[in-house]
Structure 1
Amino acid sequence: MISSPRYISSLYDKGHQPVLLGNIKKCFESAELIDFISDDQIISMYGSKIAQNSEIRSFNKGTITQIRKSFTSSVEQRRFPQRFKRLFEALEQSNSWEESRKELIDAFLATNSGKEILENYISSNRDDFFKGEKQSYLEKLDKEYADKHAEIEDLKSRKEQVESKIRKLQREREQVELNAVQSSGSIEALETLTKKQQAQLDAEFASKKVELDHLHSELADLQKKYSKFNTMEAIEDEIKGLGRDKDRAKERLDDMKKQVVQVQKELKDTNENLTARLLKLKPDVDALSGIAPRKKSESVNYKMPTQSLKLDNLDDIREDVIDRTLDTLNKLGRKTDYNNVTNILTTLAQSQFTLFSGRPGTGKTSLAKMLGASLGLQNRFLNIPVARGWTSSKDVLGFYNALSCSFNPAATGLYELLTQLNNESKSCENGAPAICLLDEFNLSQPEHYFSPFLEMSDPESKRIIATGDQETPYLEVPNYLRFLGTVNNDESVQSLTPRMLDRAAIISFDEIEPDYDLSLSSPLSVDELDIIPISGKTFIDAFTPKSLDLPQEIERTLKEIIDTLRNDNIEFGTPVNVSFRKVKAIRAYHNVTSSMYIDSRFAALDYAVSQHIIPLLNGYGKNFGRRLEKLQSCMPDEMQISQKMLQRIIANGNQNMFTYGFNL
């Protein structure tokens, strides 16, 4: 940009006179040139040129002088002197800041914090930090070793020369003495000559002896001072020896590995040959034993299509499932009400284990089968009659046969159903719900034959069953598989343990009134039903609570019930522990069903307490009876089912020498 204040002011002074501009260049000869380029642009423009100069390898005060010289003959500097002036000022400021920064860093490193940071850095990077010094020190030691070794060798050589001269002088002395004895002549001249030569030889011998002692002393000092070099040589020799031992051991290890591979191959071949021979002999052994070959059973199709629902709201889906199930049960001849169906479906969806408890003939098994048909499960409702004497999971699931290298499933069909569910889980297929009915659940101890499945009641469970099969070692069980069991309370069955009671929801059929209304129309059969089930995930989600918070009145009542049972006052006998699992189940049940029971505001809590808390009541003595009476007093009258069950437990306990229990 060009400005000429003096020229413009002269134009205003002579405003009344005409002005003719003939030479524009001369008009602006006195103009001032203003360079608007910034310092950053100057450094960026000329910094690349400076960096390309191979003579400039560092940046200091001398470097700035060198840069000045490099631009002295530059055309650009003569053209833009102010620009280069600003460039050198910026470089000097940068150099001064470099010195200030170095002083600041040195001052910080002199403090305790700086020393600690420096020590930590050096300790963590010791190998890299001292790599150069270590190499330099080793090179210095090697050089010193070579020099001293050469010096020692020189001293040894000089020592040998002195010793050689001494031996030569001794031989000359002996020769002189011998010649003196044999020669004729004046005895006095001989003695004089002999003494003179003897003195000269003795003096030279003494001198050489002193020099030899000095060399011995110097050699001893040097050997003592540099004995570590001998140690280093010994260590290096030992390292080389160990390396050779390592190579030999590695060769032996490789040979042993080859032998192991060969033995494994031979064992595998032998095992396969033995297995083939055993399989070949098996028909003959079966014939001798009178065992007829079994025909291969037809495989059951556990895969089912699911219906796509038009409803989006889970509450509407839940209502639709309950209504359709109630209507189907009535058509099948099982007359029941809305509350019972809601209770059974909610408990079944929320609990991994649901048990139908009651006296024989109350319709536990028949209702379970009709329930599976009402949900449209068909083959995915698996009925397994429990046999007395089951002791392990192989009785209900099967076992891996190491002889045939295959899994032998039990006749229950559970393994085949789990295989289908495992395939659905791995393929993320949205399958239908599955229910496994264990009829006479406690005819054998459930903790023995059903132990792999008990862990699934925990929300943290991985829901995996180990089979022992090499091809399929694990089966992944989806959460829409539910276990339903029927239990009787008599002397022919095993009593349920606290572990089982804590994991199961028990629905008492003794409290369900039987329907004696005989309809003239014959009910439908299960085969006449044509129901397409909903997906298992939708079924579980429809009965999943949105929250575990309870209304204030319900929360207060539940807390009073739990505190009464947990009270460890000896006046009330043995306390009853209500686990967190049970409290969570009660909250979940109430929050799903509270809006569906219209009879009473305590109806949902009543059903939950009767299924999760009342079955835990087992104890002895009058004091425990007082605990039950106190529990009865803290329950509202609207909780009719729990009140009725608790009243029967108290009455039976008073008649059986104060032995109280739900299983009586």
Structure 2
Amino acid sequence: MTKELLKIDLDDIKNRYVNDGDLICCSVDTANYPHIQPIVFLKDDVFYNISNEDSRTIYNSRFKEHISDTEEIFSPLYERFLPNELFLLNRFADNKSKWSAADPYFFAFGNDTLPITNHQALEVFDGFFSLENDFFVPKHNELLELLKNKIDKGITNRFYVKTQDTVFGPFEAKKIETNSVKLAAVTINNDTIYEWNYSTIKNDSIFEFSEPERNNKIIRSITSGWLKKEDSKKSIIFKPDSEILKWVSQRTKKSCSLTKSDYKKFEEITKAFLSYEVNSDEKFIYKRAIKLIEKSKENKKIVDGFIDFLPGSSIITEKLEALEKEAEETLYKNKIIKKENKEIDEEIKNNTQIKNDLLNKIEELKKKTEFEQIEVTKRENEELTLQIKKDETLRKESEKREKYSELYKINAEIRKKENAIEDLKEKERELSAVITDLSDQFINKQKEAHSSLRELIKSKTHFDFISGRNFEDENKTVEDFSPIIIDSFYKNVLEDTGFVSHEKFLLDKIATSLKYYGRNYDNNFIANVLISLYQNMGTIFAGLPGTGKTSLARIISKILTKDNRKVVEIPVARGWSSQKDFIGFYNPLSKKFIPTNEKMYSLLRLSDEEVSLKTYKENNIGIVILDEANLSPMEHYWSSFYNLTDSRVDDENMLEINIGTEAELKFANNIRFISTINIDQTTEELSPRILDRCNVIRIPTDNISYTHSANKYNSQTDIEINFSDIIKLFNLKDFNNGLTPEDLENESYKKIYLEYCKTKDALKKLKITVSPRIDNAFTDYFLTALRFMPEYKALDYFIAQRLLTKIDGQGEAYKKNLAILLEKLKEIFINDHSTKSFKNDSIEILEEIIETGSESEFYNNYNYFLIS
């Protein structure tokens, strides 16, 4: 039954046994220092001992809900198993990189890691037991505590008991009484137990082991399934006390008739029971019945049809006479007590009458005293009311004098301010005239320079043709080399750009500002961030901790928004479930709104004020940074804004946030959110609905030098760009703007849209459907990006941050379809367009998804958010 294995290590355990689900373990001291102890292997009904003492104890053991879960959400050992309880370990993984050499192993278990079922193995408890009793006293208190905990938790437990060299069972524990366990035969055996010789069956059916943590003081035993009935010495009918008394009742009914409380027939009943012939397996029940009858003599009653307690002994007649004599004495005592009680009742009645008379007198005196007191109090209240009225009159007169004095000062101050305002308005009119004149002069100069440039280009073209020089692009005309003249709506955004387009000028200036803070990003990356930020209510910066996501969000916000009131940073906490955690809640008792984040609430109030004053177009937009946004599910606490992501506004219709009161806070779709998330399996997954509405931008880490802290402010890095400029520069659909039908006829757009559709077709093989919302977002993004970056780079960015984020699947078939998608992307970006040389983010991300999912620790799990 038991075999020794020498020098077994944990890798050998995993490879040879655990995958088959046959490693039996014990939970040890889970309340103080949780760990588990491998005990034995059970393989084909044979126990294999673990002889290598170094592998006996495994520390830092925790349980995952499922082995493939990406989140590190564990339930403690003491929530899954009781102290000293045996259970089956069928799957685990070590992670030596996370723990010190002293505690090297980290185990993860699936849902099917459960306590040992009764058909796999039963434990043999050592202690005191005799067939004349229905209780058992375990030798070790720890095992008694284990049984008590199981009964309290409603866990069915079956086991054998061992007394000296004899094993009885199997039993079920029904109840714990002080230091003993009430037993019953298992239900399926119909009140039958069996008896074995322990020495005879030990080598073939029972395995003994000790717990090292107990210094070998506790020796425990387990069996491989049920002990064989054919190996037992005999079978025995075993019943608890309550069942034995029923058994007695049934036997006596067959011999004589009983009536309730008929003591005269007691001798007849006892004789009938004593004369009952019992078979061999009922003898110990018969003996227990006699003991129960003798033990119950003090109760003196027989219940009709069922003997709960029967008085009796070896000399039934003497005891019955004693009981009758005792009953007569009791009747005499009862008569005396009744007489005494009658006298006491008379005395109580007299005392009650005296008490009632006294209470009536007290009540009369009380009423008289209360009336007099009320009169005195009434007079005092009248005097006090007159005094209060006099004081109130004096107070109001004093307040009026103070108010008139204050109003006089305020009116004087208002007159001064009005005069100053008039002076400023006059200066403004003068400056406006000067600015208009300078603007006209500037535009005329630009036109003249434009004309000169055209002539210069014509001459250059003629010269190149005569000299035989090869043209890189024969289809370009002179107009293609024309500089873009700055429109009037950019004059408060951009400086004199000469012959540089205002888009490139904007990117260069932001790049320069970012370099001040040690971020050396190229113009393509900056343009992608700007377009994503302005065209979507939410943008997500993703990456491992420490990659500069939050600091980049702070820097971008400082550069683009000069008004500090419109930049809000909110650290998200675990457990956020609704808007009240993010913004606040309305208190119906105080009838006030209680903000949980004062800056967020102030931003909404400020935006609502701009709607009232209609100043939203000339001001900066608000930028909210949600740091570690996926510590809680975004679609819950961000739901008020999430539901508005597809909304547009005009001068008559604004967006509204309901904060629980009758009034709502309005804003002109001029608030944007930058959410930073860590990709390290410690946070909530982003739901498909969030990914359908937000671009996920992975922040590069190879171009950060941290020259200056993100918290250091430098006004020279500001680029104050207002909402009106953003609407026009980034083709926002608010206020009836956006793209025109002519934009959709753009040849580059038509060409790239076909490539975009090829990518969608490849995604269908992965069961990924691209929604119309994403199709519309692609059109807006691409036609805007054409002015900022090469056309294929724009497509590359959009695929990487809006389509590949939806990849989430398992298995070889999924991997093959990923490979098809990878080949399609290579065909788009490399094979057919090799002249367009730039870094392909979408190809790199997809290759990394395939490589990561193929690693053994991820079990063919391919997910965008598993890659680093």
Using the size of structure 1 for normalisation, the TM-score is: 0.49
Higher normalized helix content (fraction of residues): 1
The structure where strand makes up a greater share of residues is: 2
Asked which structure has the greater CA Rg, the reply is: 1
TM (norm. structure 2) is 0.38
Specify which structure has the bigger relative contact order, considering alpha-carbon pairs within 8 angstroms and separated by 6 or more residues: 1
